[in-house]
């Protein structure tokens, strides 16, 4: 082997070894410790049990501060208020601790568009039970990474098996859709579907008004009623 070829081979080997070292140190995208969105199956499904699904790309961006980019390695969900045992969960703890469920639900936006998606997540009622939520408490206040907030009745969250979703159409929630968690508030207007959820507070303050509610939107958010007023 000539000297020049030997130099090329040695250089390639050194780059490969150094690359392995960097991957081990910092992690591949989506791997534990990398702080990036973990990778679920990359192919978005568009049909489920014979029902046509809309695409992740069919959503319109209308969040109050634009898409948020949450570092999962420092993320946690707080559960406080009228609970027996206040909790703080990491992303991995939530996914490992509670059963996972899927359901097809349509989001209806007050702007006049809608999307039907296969959501996968964990039940809000399981999280509340784990924290020992007072069953007589009226509402749960949800807060988000961008400062957004809304509230829903605890009875609704339990009776309708409301999901805190981490996946849509079989892929991990994109940042624009609320990664790491979006509330799937079925049968409620889209402003109740809070994204980037960071906190749940069990409360009896039924007069609490979230971001849009404090601007005149209904606190109840029923789809079969106007989204303005009560």
- Residue 226's pLDDT band, with cuts at 50, 70 and 90, is confident
pLDDT in tens, 113-160: 999 999 999 999 999 999 999 999 999 999 999 999 999 999 999 999
Q: Residues 56-74: what's their mean pLDDT?
A: 96
Q: Which of 171, 186, 191 is nearest to 120 (CA)?
A: 171
Domain ranges for the chain, please list them: 1-34, 40-215
Q: Which CATH class is domain 40-215?
A: alpha beta
pLDDT in tens, 72-100: 999 999 999 999 999 999 999 999 999 99
Separation CA 72–CA 33 (nearest Å)? 9
Separation CA 131–CA 79 (nearest Å)? 7
pTM above 0.85, yes or no: no
- Give the model's pLDDT for residue 228: 78
- Residue 230's pLDDT band, with cuts at 50, 70 and 90, is low
pLDDT in tens, 94-126: 999 999 999 999 999 999 999 999 999 999 999
pLDDT in tens, 2-34: 544 443 333 434 434 333 333 333 333 333 333
- Give the model's pLDDT for residue 103: 97
Separation CA 201–CA 117 (nearest Å)? 27
Three-state SS annotation for the chain:
CCHHHHHHHHHHHHHHHHHHHHHHHHCCCCCCCCCCCCCCCCCCCCEECCEECCCHHHCCCCCCCCCCCCCCCCCEEEEEECECCCEEEEHHHHHHHCCCEEEEEEEECCCCCEEEEEEEEEEHHHHHHHCCECCCCCEEEEEECCCCEEEEEHHHHHHCCCEEEEEECCEECCHHHCCCCEEECCCEEHHHCCECEEEEEEECCCCCCCCCHHHCECCCCECCCCCECC
Separation CA 117–CA 163 (nearest Å)? 13
The pLDDT of residue 188 is above 60: yes
């Amino acid at each position: 082997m000539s000297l020049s070829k030997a130099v090329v081979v040695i250089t390639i080997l050194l780059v490969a070894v150094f690359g392995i070292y960097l991957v081990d140190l910092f992690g591949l995208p989506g791997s534990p410790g990398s702080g990036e969105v973990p990778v679920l199956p990359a192919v978005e499904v568009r049909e489920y049990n014979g029902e046509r699904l809309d695409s992740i790309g069919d959503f319109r961006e209308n969040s109050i501060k634009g898409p948020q980019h949450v570092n999962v390695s420092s993320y946690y969900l707080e559960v406080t208020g009228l609970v027996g045992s206040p909790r703080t969960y990491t992303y991995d703890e939530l996914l490992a601790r509670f059963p996972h469920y899927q359901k097809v639900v349509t989001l209806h936006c007050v702007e006049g568009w809608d999307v039907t998606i296969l959501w996968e997540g964990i039940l809000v009622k399981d999280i509340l039970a784990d924290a020992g939520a007072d069953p007589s408490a009226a509402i749960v206040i949800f807060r988000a990474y961008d400062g957004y907030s809304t509230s829903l009745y605890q009875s609704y969250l339990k009776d309708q098996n409301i999901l805190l979703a981490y996946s849509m159409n079989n892929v991990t929630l994109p940042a624009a859709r609320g990664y790491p968690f979006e509330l799937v508030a079925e049968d409620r207007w889209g402003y109740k579907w809070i994204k980037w959820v960071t906190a749940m507070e069990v409360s009896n303050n039924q007069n609490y008004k979230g971001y849009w509610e404090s601007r005149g939107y209904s606190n109840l958010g029923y789809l079969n009623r106007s989204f303005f007023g009560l």
